[in-house]
Amino acid sequence: MPVRSEYAPGTPSWVDLSSADVDASGEFYSRVFGWEYREQPVSDRGTYFTALVGDKAVAGMMAAGDAPVRWNTYVTVADVDDVVTDAVGAGASLVMEPMDVLDAGRMAVVVDTVGAPISLWQPKGMAGAELVSEPGGFIWTELLCGDCSRAAEFYGTIFGWTAEEMPAPDGSEAMLFAGDEGPVASTRDPKSSLPPTWLVYFACEDADECAAAITEVGGAIAIAPVDAPFGRMGAAVDSRGTAFAFIATNPAYEPAA
């Protein structure tokens, strides 16, 4: 269902960008995905920009400040404080202690056992993205790391995810399942020296046109669009050097049971 008003615990529900230049980032994604923005001051931390497709919230953006510049993946949880306790007990490092975000929700950030940051979201007034899997909305998130088994064990502990290993041409890969929600994310070993990270995928109408738009507005293509059973996809860095991926889905694709 592209339009969402709630997310079950253990489901990726939001993504946002910690940007070194919100004006440049905002212009880039506006021209690539057609985003418009709603601004909201967040106490002394500056302004939070909510990206909109039509009138639906799809992602967020804020000045990075001292934080790393990256796309952040948020996973819905029933109780942030409890999950932080479980995560630290399972070997994670706490980066941002649980905190209330106005009346929207409660969040925290941990670095998992393979070194990738993951954000936790306990919803109150905001469940998460209101539009997903449609052009301009986020559609998938994938953990790139060198030890997929260790990562799967960690996320199984804190989210209850189960992993199903799958062969991949460039390294090991696993699909991550959250109970009745089915597959919600994946892990992949890129066989590279890149630091562990969650790579966010955005949906687009046409992958080749999206790639052209990215380069026209100052981004660069890291992986040129290629066909896969579920669609045509590629990876890029934006005009400030932040990685993301894009995909035009294949409407005829039916996942195996």
Domain limits, the chain? 12-123, 138-249
Taking the C-alpha atoms of 66, 69, 75 and 76 in order, what is their torsion angle to the nearest 10 degrees? 50
Q: Is the pLDDT of residue 1 over 90?
A: no
Phi-psi region of 246 (alpha: psi -120 to 50; beta: other; left: phi over 0): beta
Name the architecture of domain 138-249. Answer: Roll (3.10)
Question: Does 138-249 match 12-123 at the fold level?
Answer: yes
Tell me: the pLDDT tens digits for 85-127? 999 999 999 999 999 998 999 999 999 999 999 999 999 999 9
129-146 burial: b if 16+ Cβ within 10 Å, else e: bbbbbbbbbbbbbbbbbb
Mean local confidence (pLDDT), 34-60: 91
Question: Considering the entire predicted model, what is its pTM?
Answer: 0.94
Place 257 in a pLDDT band, splitting at 50, 70 and 90. very low
- Of the candidates 174, 172, 179, 150, which has an alpha carbon nearest to the alpha carbon of residue 164? 174
Tell me: the pLDDT tens digits for 165-223? 876 655 578 899 998 778 999 999 988 878 999 999 999 999 999 999 999 999 999 99
- Taking the CB of residue 39, how many other CB atoms lie within 10 A of it? 8
Looking at domain 12-123, what is its CATH homologous superfamily? 2,3-Dihydroxybiphenyl 1,2-Dioxygenase, domain 1 (3.10.180.10)
Place 253 in a pLDDT band, splitting at 50, 70 and 90. low
- d(C-alpha 207, C-alpha 72), whole Å: 22
Tell me: the pLDDT tens digits for 51-83? 999 999 999 999 988 888 999 999 999 999 999
